[in-house]
Chain A
Amino acid sequence: MTVLPNNHYVDDAPYDPDEDIKSLDRPDLDAPSWLLIWRKFKRHKLGLWSGIFLLVAYLSLPFVGFLVPYTPNERNADHLYAAPQMVRLFHEGSFIGPYVYPITAEADLENFRWNYVQDRENPARLEYFCEGDDYNFLGVFRADTHLFCAPEGATVFLWGADRLGRDIFSRIFYGAQLSLTVGLIGITVSFILGITIGGLAGYFGGRTDWGVQRVIEVLRSLPELPLWLALSAAVPSHWGPVAVFFVISIILGLLDWPGLARAVRSKFLALREEEFVRAAEMMGAKPNRIIRKHLLPNFASHLIASAMLSIPAMILGETALSFLGLGLRAPAVSWGVMLNDAQNLASIEIYPWTAIPMLPVIVVVLAFNFLGDGLRDSLDPYSDH
């Protein structure tokens, strides 16, 4: 800092006349908008981490059979309601690698339940890439290699076992296959319906618009769950698990589109009057091209963000339906089906680990919410928030 004779202060740093322009992040103004969105989204840490978590979760769905030690319906009659086993590293002060203590069941004839005793003398070290039960790898070929499993004579129930002695940890991973995809199929149905119907209403306006709006009003004013219940009660009970799964996800999507259609319609109505649309029209663009090239890209990202926010409702919906016995049914494994076992107070009190499937539900729903919030905040890259 230099002080001039007339008492003015002057910064010693060299003067750069272009500085003002640079500080506006000049290169940003030319960057494509997805890059701007991504830059802004990166700053939303919670959303970013939620996105990464969900990506990993979805990408690992095909490899579930390999990742977990048991198959979903593998029963273990000697370990009914076994308590969660801890994986330890140090045995009697020395490091011997991850191991578990084998457990044996003892009947408690006073309270009529099983008590499990740990055998602290013989730590069972976990094995890796070992042989276990058969599973379908990627749905194509059968495999029996598991990432880790317990050695002969021991079990590894990380999150306990349920009333048939099935491993809850493994079942949660298998359950994710259905519980996580329900939302995706549902949102696809909802997207197709919402964009088509909302687009029609917004584009044609007039009577079509009026009719669609009344339908939307009626559907939005109805409580979802009783309707879901009624529709899933209509699914014939002799259908296979896969068919039921698809029908349930379609039902979830069928009642979700009104919100989306409303958003699409209002966007259409607003954008139709924009100058760039008029310019395109004057240059002779067909309505089809205007919609696809000029209108949709303008709010596609908004739609994605709103999809992220409505997937959780579907996941919760599937859970609730299966929990009530009207959704997926055994032998299908989903988080709702698993929670069906934790339906009574006795499980909560004596075998609290049967309620563990609640945790992935909460985590996934939270992650979708954070991701959706993050996307929504970063969609408008030119605004400062």
Chain B
Amino acid sequence: MLILRYSIYRFITMLATLVVVSALVFFIMNLPPGDYLSNLIAELRATGQADGISKVEFLRVEYSLDQPLWKQYLIWMGFWPGPHGFSGIIQGDFGWSFEFDRPVAEIVGGALWLTVLVNVAAVLFVYLVALPLGVLAAAKSKTWVDYTSAFVGYLGLATPNFLLALILFYYGHKYLNLPIGGLMAPEFEGQPMSPEKIKSVLLHLIIPTFVIGTSGAAAMMQRLRANLLDELSKPYVDTARAKGVPPVKAILKYPFRVSLNPFVADIGNLLPSLVSGSVLVSVVLGLQTIGPALLTALKSQDQFLAGFILLFVAALTLVGTMISDVLLVLLDPRIRFGGRGK
């Protein structure tokens, strides 16, 4: 029951945070002087296409851009009735993209799932790589295994993601015949799911996952190593060894399980950087996630599109963090029964 109560509490705080974040995002989107429609009107005037202006004026009223800023925000979120009653993000109306002249929902539709897919794959990659390597580095600390993994980890932290992406892309294609560009072969776009399509997506995922996950995996590995080393220096491990417990069991039975705890807790730090990385890498590699759309929208001040994508990205990290917090409580009884705060 405690867990249920904690989950509900966490869920409510997440929603509150999300509302604050949405206000922040809306504020940032309105920072640049002028907006897309004003720019468009100026451009139409300059080129003498005066008849186009009426349509733009219509759009301005339609999307309440003539209202004061705070009201615009409330209408955008769906807390305040716009020209067509309550119709904002919480009602499922994501607004209109002026740049693409289509509803935002249509533009980002499929991309949202691919974004989630890429990020989940990256998280899995981080765990799958960091877990064994971190344990190995701790178990063989101060040997070449440890130093090599530390070196590779540092290199992963220091290399700019986007270049790593380009280089791996090139060599992956040249030597391993991995596909280039996109998240699936062109013939599968817009097709329903089929085993071939899934296979194609998985093949295309290899390099992006690797690129996005490397730095996170490096950081995670170092932390796991440090935690495990702390645990291994405790007397109960010495006792276990002295009693003749085989070395593998002496590590995996208790020390490993204790050091796993921060591993789950850390996802709150990990997720924002992974999502950041996925946006950047998507732009470079032309993945059909929301990254490239975000860049276009930001460059042309397409505020509803950019705002929605920023909000979605934030929501993705917040939900991920919430799940990790709840998992942590499930995993560690000390947190569950220790009471929170106060």
Q: In the assembly, what is the distance between CA of A231 and CA of B21, in Å?
A: 15
* Segment at the B interface, from A36-44, A105-113, A218-226, A275-283: A218-226
Pick from A214, A234, A236, A339 the residue with the most CB of B within 10 Å: A234
Q: Please report which residues of chain B, range 148-180, place their CB below 8 angstroms from some CB of chain A when the two chains form the complex.
A: 154-155, 157-163, 166-167, 169-170, 180
Number of A interface residues in the complex (CB < 8 A)? 39
> Of A221, A227, A234, A320, which one neighbours B160 at CB under 8 angstroms?
A320
Q: A324-B283, A358-B159 are in contact. Are A348 and B170 (CB under 8 A)?
A: yes
Chain A residues within 8 Å of B268, by CB: 220-221
Pick from A226, A229, A230, A343 the residue with the most CB of B within 10 Å: A226
From residue B302, how far is it (CB to closest CB) to chain A in Å? 10
B111 interface hit (Cβ, 8 Å): no
Chain A residues within 8 Å of B155, by CB: 362, 366
Q: A236-B32, A362-B159 are in contact. Are A355 and B167 (CB under 8 A)?
A: yes
A349 interface hit (Cβ, 8 Å): yes
Q: In the assembly, what is the distance between CA of A162 and CA of B33, in Å?
A: 36
Chain A residues within 8 Å of B299, by CB: 233, 325-326
B272 touches A223 (CB 8 A): yes
Q: In the assembly, what is the distance between CA of A344 and CA of B162, in Å?
A: 11
B28 touches A227 (CB 8 A): yes
Q: In the assembly, what is the distance between CA of A226 and CA of B28, in Å?
A: 11
Q: Please report which residues of chain A, range 196-246, place their CB below 8 angstroms from some CB of chain B when the two chains form the complex.
A: 214, 217-218, 220-227, 229-231, 233-234, 236
B29 interface hit (Cβ, 8 Å): yes
Binary interface profile of A, 73-93, with partner B (CB < 8 Å = 1, else 0)? 000000000000000000000
B17 interface hit (Cβ, 8 Å): yes
A226 touches B157 (CB 8 A): no
From residue A197, how far is it (CB to closest CB) to chain B in Å? 16
> Of A218, A229, A339, which one neighbours B298 at CB under 8 angstroms?
A229
B160 touches A319 (CB 8 A): yes
A218 touches B275 (CB 8 A): no
B170 touches A349 (CB 8 A): yes
A312 interface hit (Cβ, 8 Å): yes
A218 touches B276 (CB 8 A): no
Q: In the assembly, what is the distance between CA of A316 and CA of B24, in Å?
A: 24
Closest to A339 in B: B163
Binary interface profile of A, 347-365, with partner B (CB < 8 Å = 1, else 0)? 0110000010010011001
Q: A225-B276, A229-B298 are in contact. Are A218 and B158 (CB under 8 A)?
A: no
A10 interface hit (Cβ, 8 Å): no
From residue A358, how far is it (CB to closest CB) to chain B in Å? 5
What are 24 contact pairs spanning A and B, CB under 8 A?
A214-B20, A220-B272, A221-B21, A221-B268, A223-B272, A223-B273, A223-B279, A224-B276, A225-B279, A226-B279, A226-B310, A230-B298, A233-B299, A234-B32, A236-B33, A343-B166, A343-B284, A345-B166, A345-B170, A345-B180, A348-B170, A361-B158, A365-B157, A365-B158
Other contacts beyond A218-B24, A344-B166: 19, CB < 8 A: A220-B268, A220-B269, A221-B17, A221-B314, A222-B317, A223-B276, A224-B276, A226-B275, A226-B309, A233-B299, A316-B160, A319-B160, A325-B299, A339-B160, A345-B169, A348-B167, A358-B159, A369-B154, A369-B157
